[in-house]
């Protein structure tokens, strides 16, 4: 059990952090024995623990007695943890002397380890929970997008606990039997080119499929075959308008083919011809779509029948409560769903968006992401609760097609794009969480022809035992994980057990109860960042409470008991 003594203003931050790092903890209670005490408050209490972890960028009352000498305070610094850069967005305090193994900073020592009276003290020079606050509110700048910073903070904390010879129970953010979670999503912005005659969309397509395609051929971004396919598509446009040729921007059937037997989420526009309010971008009127969900009765029925989800592609829901409700009701009337999520058109949001969406009745939001790049806008692979929200959860966007290939954005070749996508896939294996992919409706057809890349990406994920879920399914799985509680139970003889509860609610696919055991008791963690510690995994559906005790008893062996017993973590 971890006891946490935090600043008063950090209470909600602590609670959210330990939803992401799902391990037994409680707010520190005087006189109670803990394995680990984590302190961010100004005053460090006397503790009975094996490990005392003190975070903070200001001097603490214990620094002098422990002979810890602060050196300098910095802002905008970065750490290195076993060679991986970890940006620090608030202040960083460095110290004199030798530091924690594997942890360094160019400007000094960001953490020290001091033995004290039979237990270990680690003094870390940044504000852990204030870093979390920055990431979940302001978010990461584009230059750090590829770094899952919160997940690395969790990994560092886990490793330091294990290095101190303390075993650890955790429910990792990954379903049992799977490498991680993948969520395939599609924003439907156009629903066909036939609706666009002699407007900026049509002229833009003709330019990109002719002059633009030739430029990309010269730059060796596309093959000669793709160049000819683009030119043929441009030449066929009059026949598409006449109804004599297929509308090549309607790609629902091909997505269903690529994603055969895989659930996906389609975000549909609720109202046509509405660009939205409060727009400051150039050519803001172009945000209006020439279709809405009522124009696609055939495809909405097919998608639902195939196990896909229909969500709201919001117009004004990011700032207007009345319009957020209207957009929700429009999609609910078509789908019949009672729990509906949203992703905002153009990924628009402001400081009021989460409050508006929650009050309007949305189940989740999937807007937080980059238009300019791919990666981790909130510094985590996990679904999280935006600060200030009560029930609304956020499914962050990881990979977007336009960010990869648009000339005004990353403008990558497919070879380079594959490398950056593989890096995020490897992070999924290392940290769990959800990899959310956005591929737009028109991206399989001309002038983009990004379908082969998307097919390769889906096949890669299928080969890795990834769990695929719709956005709603993924969010609901994380919601159930968040509902798990840990309770310390006093037993006969003065011993204590740990009870893990989920109110009897079935969780499919199951959670993992992971027991981490320290590799080198009292030593330093020297494994690479993505190297997992020795651990024992037990799948758990949450229907029967689990109690950690001194002997082993499986659920099947004890059907009459309200809980199952597995070995204690001593």
Residue 403 φ then ψ, to 5°: -65, -35
Can you tell me the distance from the alpha carbon of 351 to that of 362, in angstroms, rounded to the nearest whole number?
Answer: 17
Render pLDDT for 304-356 as a digit per residue (tens, 0 to 9): 999 999 999 999 999 999 999 999 999 999 999 999 999 999 999 999 999 99
Among 4-13, 97-106, 427-436, 551-560, which stretch is predicted with the lowest mean pLDDT? 551-560
Predicted structure pTM score:
0.93
The pLDDT of 440-465, averaged and rounded, is 96
Can you tell me the distance from the alpha carbon of 256 to that of 248, in angstroms, rounded to the nearest whole number?
Answer: 15
Residue 353's alpha-carbon distances to 179, 317, 320, 324, 365, in angstroms, are 32, 8, 9, 10, 10
- Whether 557 shows a pLDDT value over 70: the answer reads no
Can you tell me the distance from the alpha carbon of 225 to that of 292, in angstroms, rounded to the nearest whole number?
Answer: 34
Residue 401 φ then ψ, to 5°: -60, -50
- Higher-pLDDT residue of 556 and 83 is 83
Task: Express as a percent the part of the chain with pLDDT over 90.
Answer: 80
Given a contact cutoff of 8 angstroms between Cβ atoms, the answer to whether 435 and 424 are in contact is yes
- Whether 411 shows a pLDDT value over 50: the answer reads yes
| Count of C-beta atoms within a 10 Å radius of residue 50 | 18
- Token representation of residue 450: 């990004």
Residue 107 is predicted with a pLDDT of 83
- Higher-pLDDT residue of 149 and 535 is 149
- Higher-pLDDT residue of 258 and 551 is 258
- Whether 462 shows a pLDDT value over 90: the answer reads yes
Q: pLDDT class for 547, splitting at 50, 70, 90? A: confident
Render pLDDT for 470-526 as a digit per residue (tens, 0 to 9): 999 999 999 999 999 998 887 666 677 888 998 877 899 999 999 998 865 444 444
Can you tell me the distance from the alpha carbon of 244 to that of 360, in angstroms, rounded to the nearest whole number?
Answer: 44
Residue 281 is predicted with a pLDDT of 84
Average pLDDT value for the chain:
91
E-only strand ranges, 40-107: 51-55, 70-75, 78-81, 84-87, 91-95, 103-105
Residue 223's alpha-carbon distances to 215, 229, 257, 411, 452, in angstroms, are 11, 10, 24, 16, 13
Residue 501's alpha-carbon distances to 484, 498, 505, 543, 547, in angstroms, are 6, 10, 9, 8, 9
Given a contact cutoff of 8 angstroms between Cβ atoms, the answer to whether 356 and 386 are in contact is no
Residue 151's alpha-carbon distances to 135, 157, 376, 383, 497, in angstroms, are 11, 10, 10, 12, 28
All structural domains of the chain, each given as residue ranges with its CATH number in brackets, are 2-166 (3.40.50), 181-192+249-477 (3.20.20.370), 486-567 (no CATH)
The pLDDT of 138-153, averaged and rounded, is 97
158-177 CB burial, b ≥16 within 10 A, e <16: bbbbbbbbbbbbbbbbbbbe
3-state SS string for 256-294: HHHCCCCCCEEEECCCCCCCCCCCCCCCHHHHCCCCCHH
Residue 27 is predicted with a pLDDT of 96
Given a contact cutoff of 8 angstroms between Cβ atoms, the answer to whether 205 and 447 are in contact is yes
CA dihedral defined by 423, 428, 431, 434, rounded to 10 degrees?
130
């Amino acid at each position: 059990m971890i006891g946490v003594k935090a600043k008063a203003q950090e209470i909600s931050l602590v609670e959210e952090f330990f939803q992401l790092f799902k391990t037994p903890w409680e707010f520190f209670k005087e006189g109670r024995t803990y394995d680990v005490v984590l302190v961010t408050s100004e005053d460090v209490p006397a503790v009975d623990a094996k490990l005392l972890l003190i975070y903070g960028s200001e001097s603490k009352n214990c620094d002098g007695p422990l002979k810890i000498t602060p050196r300098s305070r910095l802002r905008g610094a970065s750490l290195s943890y076993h060679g991986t850069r970890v940006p620090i967005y608030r202040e960083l305090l460095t110290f004199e002397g030798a530091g924690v193994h594997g942890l360094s900073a160019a400007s000094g020592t960001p953490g020290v380890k001091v033995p004290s009276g039979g237990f270990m003290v680690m003094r870390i020079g940044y504000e852990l929970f204030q870093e979390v606050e920055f990431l979940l509110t302001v978010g990461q700048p584009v230059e750090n997008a590829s770094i899952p910073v919160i997940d690395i903070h969790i990994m560092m904390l886990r490793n330091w606990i294990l290095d101190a010879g303390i075993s650890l129970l955790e429910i990792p953010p990954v379903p049992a039997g799977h490498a991680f979670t993948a969520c395939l999503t599609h924003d439907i912005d156009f629903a066909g080119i036939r609706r666009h005659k002699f407007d900026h969309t049509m002229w833009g397509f003709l330019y990109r499929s002719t002059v633009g395609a030739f430029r990309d051929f010269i730059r060796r971004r596309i093959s000669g075959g793709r160049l000819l396919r683009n030119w043929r598509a441009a030449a066929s446009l009059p026949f598409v308008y006449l109804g004599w040729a297929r509308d090549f921007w309607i790609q629902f059937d091909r997505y269903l083919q690529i994603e055969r037997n895989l659930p996906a989420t389609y975000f549909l526009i609720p109202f046509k011809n509405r660009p939205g309010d409060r727009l400051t971008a150039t050519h803001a009127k172009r945000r209006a779509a020439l279709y809405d969900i009522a124009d696609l009765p055939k495809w909405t029925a097919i998608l639902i029948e195939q196990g896909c989800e229909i969500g709201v592609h919001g117009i004004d829901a990011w700032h207007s409560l009345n319009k957020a409700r209207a957009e929700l009701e429009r999609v609910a009337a078509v789908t019949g769903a009672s729990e509906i999520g949203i992703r905002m058109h153009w990924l628009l949001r402001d400081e009021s968006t989460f409050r508006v969406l929650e009050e309007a009745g949305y189940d989740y939001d999937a807007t937080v992401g980059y238009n300019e790049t791919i990666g981790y806008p909130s510094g985590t692979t996990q679904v999280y609760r935006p600060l200030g929200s009560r029930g609304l959860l956020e499914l962050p966007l990881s990979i977007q097609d336009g960010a990869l290939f648009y000339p005004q954005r990353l403008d990558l070749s497919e070879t380079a794009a594959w490398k950056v996508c593989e890096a995020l896939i490897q992070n999924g294996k290392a940290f769990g969480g959800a990899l959310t992919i956005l591929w737009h409706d028109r991206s399989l057809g001309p002038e983009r022809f990004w379908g082969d890349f998307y097919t390769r990406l889906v096949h890669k994920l299928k080969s890795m035992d990834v769990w695929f879920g719709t956005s709603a399914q993924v969010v609901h799985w994380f919601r159930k994980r968040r509902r798990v509680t840990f309770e310390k139970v006093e037993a006969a003889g003065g011993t204590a057990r740990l009870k893990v509860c989920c109110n009897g609610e079935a969780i499919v696919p199951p959670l993992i109860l992971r027991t981490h055991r320290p590799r080198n008791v009292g030593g330093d963690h020297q494994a690479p960042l993505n190297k997992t510690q020795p651990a024992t995994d037990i799948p758990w559906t949450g229907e029967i409470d689990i109690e950690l005790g001194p002997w082993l008893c499986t659920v099947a062996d004890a059907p009459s008991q309200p809980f199952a017993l597995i070995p204690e973590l001593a």
